[in-house]
Structure 1
């Protein structure tokens, strides 16, 4: 749309006579140029109103495992009708989490792509701890998966080359998951 205003008049536009049909979201408005002029150029404008929601997005690319901080968050307006149920609309749900897969800047974040920050990266050496009763053993292992605090991951015992399940309990530290002893049924 082109609006032409004489060079000696103010280069402004006003919206007058705005009508919105709340049932279907359609609107009709009259634009006047220059703004509020009695003899200004009048243009009829029709369109559709779309509700928008401010959605938190990341300011820069975040790769898998990086923790999201409050200063990493920006906001964009998105049509509410196009937002999926899994799109994060509350910034507090992002803070302290990390992506499972990289997230580009300026893109809405899917809840399913968030997890706890990675404490142990894949392929790193870790201390593998076994505590049972009064016994405490520690061996070296290599992680086969990345994991955050409390995640159960696969770890390869360096000495025996056996794969075990272990819970991440700290940076470069995992605890072997043991099965509960089975009690014999008494007859």
Structure 2
């Protein structure tokens, strides 16, 4: 009779992680040349350079430190205090006016906007064309 002994030892699983090559300030767009891929097992870090390049740094990124998933996002197309087209559409009702952005953001971000006609502050989602669509609130 033959015996076979199989020993399994856990080995570290290495995955790719992205690190910046230079200091990238918050608000700067990340270029492909600004990042490098390293072998590391760090949960919650960005792994695909194609998804990070062209995005905007939300916080300062330092060389040698891994880029985490929440530290970048779409570039801002609406700036703080910018006058924006504000729309509210519900069924056949459509209201269009101007508002002043109280924060900066990129496509899909929800930011506070002051309606310049009524002086009320509403929450609006930034659309790809730079307009802001009022977010409906339940209640």
- The 8 Å contact of residues 76 and 106 in structure 1, kept in 2 or not, is answered as no
Cα distance 1:161–1:114, how it changes in 2: closer, same or farther (>3 A)?
same
**How many residues are matched?**
129
**2: CA distance between counterparts of 1:106 and 1:152?**
32
Kindly report which structure 2 residues correspond to 1:20-99, keeping only aligned pairs within 5 A, or say none.
Answer: 55-75=17-37, 80=40, 83-99=41-57
Residue in structure 2 matched with residue 100 of structure 1 by the alignment: 58
| Bigger mean CA offset, 118-127 vs 171-180 | 171-180
Between structure 1 and structure 2, the one with the greater Rg is 1
- Select the structure that is richer in strand: 1
TM-score by length of 2: 0.69
Segments of structure 1 that go 5 or more residues without pairing to the other structure are: 1-22, 24-50, 183-187
Residue in structure 2 matched with residue 111 of structure 1 by the alignment: 69
- The 8 Å contact of residues 98 and 116 in structure 2, kept in 1 or not, is answered as yes
Residue in structure 2 matched with residue 147 of structure 1 by the alignment: 105
Residue in structure 1 matched with residue 95 of structure 2 by the alignment: 137
Cα distance 1:141–1:75, how it changes in 2: closer, same or farther (>3 A)?
same
TM-score by length of 1: 0.54
Alpha carbon RMSD of aligned pairs, Å? 3.1
**1: CA distance between counterparts of 2:79 and 2:66?**
26
